[in-house]
Amino acid sequence: MTSGTVLGRLPSGPVAGIAAGVLGLGVAELIAALARGTSPLLALGDRVIDLTPRWLKEAAVATFGTADKPILLACVALVTLALLAVAGALAVRRPVLGAGMFLLLGAVDAAALLADRAGNGAAGIVALVIGLVIGIVALVLLTRRLRGPGETPAEAEAPDGFDRRSFLIAAAAVTAVGAAGGVGAKVVTARRHPATRLAIPTPVSPAAPLPAGVELPIKGLTPHLTPVDDFYRIDIALLTPRVDLADYRLTIHGLVDNPIELTYEDLLAMPLYERRVTICCVSNEVGGDLIGNATWTGVRIRDVLRRAGLTQGADAVKSTGADGITIGTPLEALTDGRDSLLAIAQDGEPLTPDHGFPVRMVVPGLYGYVSATKWLTDLEVTRFADFRAYWTDRGWSAEGPIKTQCRIDLPRENPDAVGEVTVAGVAWAQHRGVSRVEVRIDDGPWQPATLAAEDSIDTWRQWSYRWEATAGEHRIQARAYDRTGTPQTGSEAPPAPDGATGYPTRTVTVG
């Protein structure tokens, strides 16, 4: 047993624990995927998100932005690996303890699967149990090689017959089978998404042609339209709900004359509207990138509500997503004439799973957490006084109109020479419209920026400013005005409870 590799020096017990655990998890993931069950690993991650306190969530989004989920998953994976290693170390002397720890980990995961609201938790649990049995058998078999005849760990005493090389090969093989199961599970779920085979009917009301000049000819400036792949993603669902179109139903009920239930085909058969709308997250810090502009196609929410027939007294719609979220939206924003949509397409293609397939809400002028429900399954016409929603339960305000705001995107780096420097960015005040943007350098006077052509009052607007830069360090600030003539506020506030304020600021050193 004189393997000189790094692997060779790893303690065998933990190696056996990790190998057996990876095998069990891989098998469980694969079976869950094949049985259309909830992924045991993602269910665990989802539960962790649910139980994470708000301050920590905010810190995670602030620090890692939209990478918060991969990082959370990596943490869950690391903790799991560490616990598997401990189980392996225990199993060398006392197989029962090792197996017991596997069972304990399995029980925690089973609890997470039971709490799963989005998918098929039962099939996930069956898969988990099978994976658990296989993992425990592998753990016992692998660690048996490490025990001497009299229950003494082989490593310490190198008893006859212990061959570390063949042990490591066995452990590596077991790990590889588990990893293959995990990859297989990914492939199976990725192939299942049906959206690519769907065709979106031609809208009765297409989006207006893009006005000339919405795009300023400036290299490196944020494009007017955000490609789907670059579109920010914020939700509580680590486990992206996979909604089967055959089973999909949208229920509209509450304070209505006739509750209705619509299938996906029912929605496609209604008049479709296509609109460009910039949506934005209330968690967006000043200068942040949790905002994007897309072309959405869908049914007008007011058309659906009219079909159901509104009765007196309602002031809100409570919507529910397949991930279990509840969101409260002022009824007025859905009926006052703006194009609030039950969107089925983004940029002409069916919604992607990440952005709410098959149906999501898009409401011009309101932050996502009070309006942009993804994987929408239920609309209840109600009163704000009669319900609580997911985020308002967590301290965010019940109403969330988007605040007038702007962002400085250029210059991205310190200008290397004095003279003309292009300062540019985007500004938004959805459903009021942006009328003016100003820039100031080093607390000097506010100077007007050049605005790109307005697409609509529901979309952001690019702006630019030519700055005669002098050598040294400078502070650039910008502010936007909405069409009522009101400038954004300069007083600084954090995202909670209803959206960050303050001037975007960039400090650069010239020369």
Contact of residue 235 among ligand MTE, Mo ion, none (CB under 5-8 Å per partner type): ligand MTE
Closest approach of ligand MTE to the CB of residue 325, in Å: 4
CB 290 within 8 A of CB 278: no
Compare residues 36 and 233 and give the one whose CB is closer to ligand MTE.
Answer: 233
**Quick check: 318 binds ligand MTE (CB under 6 A)?**
no
The stretch near ligand MTE (CB under 6 A) out of 2-10, 99-107, 133-141, 225-233 is 225-233
x-or-dash string of contact with ligand MTE, 48-87, rule CB under 6 A: ----------------------------------------
Among 355, 403, 407, 506, binds ligand MTE (CB under 6 A): 355
Contact by Cβ (8 Å): 463, 424: yes
For 410: left if phi > 0, alpha if psi spans -120 to 50, otherwise beta; the answer is beta
Residue 351 has phi, psi (to 5 degrees) of: -50, 150
The option from Mo ion, ligand MTE, none interacting with 408 (CB < 5 to 8 A, set by class) reads none
The single residue among 234, 301, 341, 342 that binds Mo ion, judged by CB under 5 A, is: 234
| 13 versus 368: smaller Cβ distance to Mo ion | 368
345 binds ligand MTE per the rule CB under 6 A: no
The span from the CA of 489 to the CA of 480, in Å, is 9
Build a one-symbol-per-residue string for 420-439: x at contacts with ligand MTE by CB under 6 A, - elsewhere. Answer: --------------------
Closer residue to ligand MTE, CB minimum distance, 95 or 328 = 328
Residue closer to ligand MTE (CB basis): 368 or 425? 368
- Least distance CB 97 / ligand MTE (angstroms): 40
Among 32, 99, 174, 237, binds ligand MTE (CB under 6 A): 237
Bridge partners of 90? none
**321 binding partner (options ligand MTE, Mo ion, none; Cβ < 5 to 8 Å by kind):** ligand MTE
- Check residue 369 for interaction with Mo ion (CB under 5 A): yes
User: Taking Cα atoms as reference points, which of 158, 133, 124, 101 lies closest to residue 33?
Assistant: 124
Among ligand MTE, Mo ion, none, partner that 452 touches (CB below 5 to 8 angstroms by kind): none
Strands 273-280 and 360-362: unpaired
Residues that contact ligand MTE, how many (by CB under 6 A): 18
Nearest approach, Cβ of 197 to Mo ion (angstroms)? 30
Indicate the SS3 state at residue 235: coil
Give the total residue count for the chain: 511
A 10 A CB-CB count for 204 gives 10
Report the C-alpha gap between 357 and 364 in whole angstroms.
19
- Residue from 102, 369, 463, 465 binding ligand MTE (CB under 6 A): 369
Strands (E), 411-471: 419-428, 434-441, 447-448, 450-451, 461-469
Report residue 141 as tokens. 């078999």
- Using CB under 6 A as the binding rule, the residues of this chain from 274 to 313 that contact ligand MTE are 281
Residue 236 engages ligand MTE in binding (rule: CB under 6 A): yes
Pairing mode, if any, of strands 250-254 and 376-382? parallel
Residues contacting residue 107 through CB under 8 Å, at least 6 positions apart:
none
Nearest CA-CA partner of 441 in 406, 464, 469, 419: 469
CA pair distance 495, 395, nearest whole angstrom: 12
The alpha carbon of 474 is separated from its chain's Cα centroid by a whole number of angstroms, namely: 36
Site for Mo ion, rule CB under 5 A? 234, 281, 368-369
Binding residues (CB under 6 A) for ligand MTE: these are 231-237, 281, 321, 323, 325, 355, 368-369, 372-375
